Structure 1
Amino acid sequence: MSTPVTSNRPSRVAEAIRTIARLLLGVALVFAGITHLTSAREEFQAQVPAWVPVDEDLVVLASGVVEIGLGLALVFVVRRWRPIVGVLAAAFFLVIFPGNIGQWREHVDAFGLDTDGKRFTRLFFQPVLIAIALWSTGGWSWLREKLRR
């Protein structure tokens, strides 16, 4: 009786799910970035914490451009560069997390988050976005490999 050969490669189904997650995240980032520059600009300005020493509109415009760039990269970048894009997207989500905390701590209403409970609940979604960015691009594996060296 022979033992089955196993592989560390993900199954086709798992790979398809990762691809779909990456593409959805990319499209969502492009959409969010466009709304930073257009229809939701004031809502995003309300989320910039009071302690940030940069003009709120500049922060919103810059983060919108970064979101569009990251989103397009998640959708279109070649496989070789995907882990790096995933790490950059995760880092972006980490960098903007204080804005979500500030919205909760400063009781700022924006995007329908009009109670402290809603604003607090939202805080738990940022780590999910970070995990999706890393998982869907192979960023976890890439980071582990880089840290071993």
Structure 2
Amino acid sequence: MQNPRTSNIQTVLRIILGAFMIFAAVGHLTYQRQEFQAQVPDWLPLGKDLVVILSGIVEFTLGFGMVFLSKHKVKFGIALAIFFVLIFPGNVAQYVNGTNAFGLDTDQSRLIRLFFQPLLIVWALWSTGAYKVLFSKN
């Protein structure tokens, strides 16, 4: 898979997104576990705490790769975008169920949050050059 050259701003934003993922992973695994459990849909067949722990491990891995493994940035960008798609049902469940967590204590704030998930997907793909690889005509 190609690893296209990215601009300085893309590199900075890739590292910021990776650092954000590492920070979120720490929350998943420690002080915010209960709040993250509020986002796990009831229909998942695994225990909510297990889902939070596993997603925290995935977040840490993806964040680490985004920050430190630039030779594989496209792969990590695609993987992170897929991860953002996979966790979207949790955000929808939080909205539909009216669950308060992370300061989202109104239906309006939970609804607005849903519109940020596509931006995170674009951020992951653009900042790593994955967008260029996926949508090039070559």
2:61 to 66, 69, 90: 69
Return the letter of the residue paired with 1:107: G
Question: Gaps spanning 5+ residues in structure 2: where?
Answer: none
1:95 to 86, 98, 102: 86
SS in 1 for 2:7: helix
**In the TM superposition, what are the counterparts of 1:1-149 in structure 2 within 5 Å?**
15-79=7-71, 81-145=72-136
TM-score normalized by the length of structure 2: 0.93
Aligned-CA RMSD value: 1.6
Following TM superposition, where does structure 1 have runs of at least 4 consecutive aligned residues deviating by more than 6 angstroms?
none
Question: Once the two structures are aligned, what percentage of the paired residues are identical?
Answer: 48
The alignment's TM-score, normalised by the length of structure 1, stands at 0.86
Task: Structure 1 unaligned segments of length 5 or more: list them.
Answer: 1-8
CA distance in 2, matches of 1:15, 1:51: 42
State the AA in 1 paired with 2:58: V
- Shift, 1:143, TM fit: 1.5
The Cα of 1:78 is off from its aligned counterpart by 3.0
SS of equivalent to 2:50: helix
Q: In 1, Cα distance between the equivalents of 2:38 and 2:112?
A: 18
